[in-house]
Structure 1
Amino acid sequence: MDTAADTGLEVINAQSDAAFAARRVHIRDVAIQMEGMQRIAHAFVENPDTILLELANAAVELCGADSAGISIEKEDRTEHDFYHWVATAGQYTGYLGAMLPRYPSACGICLERGQPQLFRVGKRFFDIMGIEAPPVTDGILLPWEAGKTRGTIFIMAHGRTEAFDQDDCRMMQVLADFAAMGVRQQQQQKLLLEQASATAAAAMANDLAHKINNPLQSLTNILYMAAEGHTAADAQTIGRQTSDDLKKLSTLVNELLALPYRKLI
């Protein structure tokens, strides 16, 4: 655990925290989950420029969060402007574009550890930053990496102390993989636009997006059947089915991320 009373940050490794493992699993609205996944799929295929924003919005909806966001280490970073919030949703929507220092930073601890982290942020931190924002009473922060670009994706609650559970952590891992894929897709598109034609860039983006469409479609189908009452499966069974599809989806995304850039063109 990293508890810094002087900075107002508390960051705990989620995978080794017994209290987090013992939390009761929350029941989520499958219709909302289905809609979130459908929007992610649509963004990858039709509007890749919006994928990071869609992921932040989906994180709020899929995990019942009050706020969510995605940060990236700036290319021209300085100690004072190190992390760039490139997507925000929920109560933190107004902080889109915010720049945070290298220290103090929950993002930095998360990237250093390379694993999902639980975090809380108190008033002291915001006083140091010179901003006013709702405190984070419960949050999950995950790292992602796309080539030489690194960042985090996070969900937050601003009043509840046990807002999230292990299912939320698994869902966020998939969204973290998508964030890496989205950044890589945008980087590839930018490179192709610089070196070739817009047609070639669009072809690459479509090819990449369609590779992840099948497992996404399978997941949304399960959620649709549950939402419409067309299945006799209970919540636990549906949870297992969606968990299996999430694992397949995460595996596929990681395989795509491991490919050299030139193979995606």
Structure 2
Amino acid sequence: MFSPSSADTGLEVTDLQSDSAFATRLVRLRNVTVIPEGMRRIAHALVEHPENILQVLVETAVELCGADSSAISVEKEDRTEDAYYQWVAIAGRYSNMYNAVFPYYHSGCRICLERGGPQHVRAFKRYFDILGITAPIVTDGLMFPWQTDETRGTIYILAHERQEAFDQGDVAIMEILADFAAIGVRQLRQQKLLMERAGLVAEAAMANKLAHKINNPLQSLTNVLYLAAEGYHGESAKIVGCQALDDLERLCSLVRELLSLPHQQAH
């Protein structure tokens, strides 16, 4: 399914659920030790340096998915139709577009958030001409929605020359990073509110405790994947794989618990 105006705007956005061509792409081999290392780096930023978490997320997305660029967008609090979305973190070849703003109608963010699921995106020269931006075109890209409380946005990975840079493995990774983007934005808002209202200390402490717990399944997941990388086969591989799945389920459960924490507003 394409945006109705894609032919006119130079922006092509396709729902991944209906993108049969993307579904048939071969899943490339990955270094099994890189993923848990990236996740551990994210967890460390979330616990120790939450002010940097969004930038760490886009840098990790570039590394884990082999992207040329990655960005996180957010709906601006003071948004207007002409300045509705803002890139609040960015890495790769688009790094000089930090804090770039985009209009409501000529934006893949709007389409992604309206559809509420992962999108495949391409952006051609005409699109950037309309926006008045000079930037490399997007030959292959993935976009994922995220939401926390009243705040919504998207996280992207983009390629600027390759036609088939990403696959279903990247979708799985980016769905996890989209959850972390929501957590990161929430943590940043909580930090701001803590300065305004001491009553949020207990909630912040609970979030911090859960964030620390994320390190345990990450460490275990790292260990079993190192074993897999060493060439275990047969029943040994099955045991390693089951252990990895258990740890990944624990990690996802903790992420969901963080996202479900009640949010208090400052008064």
Same-fold call, TM cutoff 0.5: yes
- Matched residue of 2:74: which SS? strand
Deviations 1:13-59 (A, max 9, x none): 11222111110001122343243222112101111111100100111
Cα deviation digits, residues 58-112 of structure 1 (max 9, x gap) = 1111111111010000111011111110110111111111111111111100000
Distance 1:173 1:244 in 2: 18
What is the alpha-carbon distance in structure 1 between the residues aligned to residue 204 and residue 81 of structure 2? 36
The answer on 1:148 being equivalent to 2:150 is yes
Choose 20-29 or 143-152, whichever is displaced more.
20-29
Q: Distance in 2 between matches of 1:24 and 1:255?
A: 33
Q: Within 2, Cα distance between the matches of 1:122 and 1:240? A: 43
1:198 Cα deviation from its structure 2 partner: 10
**2:259 maps to which residue?**
257
Residue type of the alignment partner of 2:79: R
Structure 2 counterpart of 1:167 = 169
In the TM superposition, what is the alpha-carbon distance from 1:249 to its structure 2 partner?
Answer: 2.8
Q: What displacement does 1:196 show?
A: 2.0
SS in 1 for 2:21: helix
Task: Report the AA paired with residue 63 of structure 1.
Answer: C
Moved more, 31-40 or 198-207: 198-207
Tell me the C-alpha RMSD between the 2 structures: 2.5
| CA 140–130 in structure 1, closer or farther in 2 if over 3 Å, else same | same
The 5 A counterparts of 1:87-236 are: 87-196=89-198, 203=205, 206-226=208-228, 229=230, 231-233=231-233
Q: Does 1:70 align with 2:72?
A: yes
Match of 1:26 among 21, 25, 28: 28
What's the TM-score once normalised by structure 1's chain length?
0.88
User: Match of 1:80?
Assistant: 82
In structure 2, list runs of 5 or more residues that go unmatched.
none
Any conservation in 1 of the 2:210–2:254 contact (CA below 8 Å)? no
Return the alpha-carbon distance in structure 1 between the equivalents of residues 244 and 16 of structure 2. Answer: 21
Unpaired runs of at least 5, structure 1? none
- Rate the CA distance shift 1:110–1:198 in 2: closer, same or farther, 3 A: closer
- Whole-Å Cα distance in 1 between the matches of residues 164 and 249 of structure 2? 24
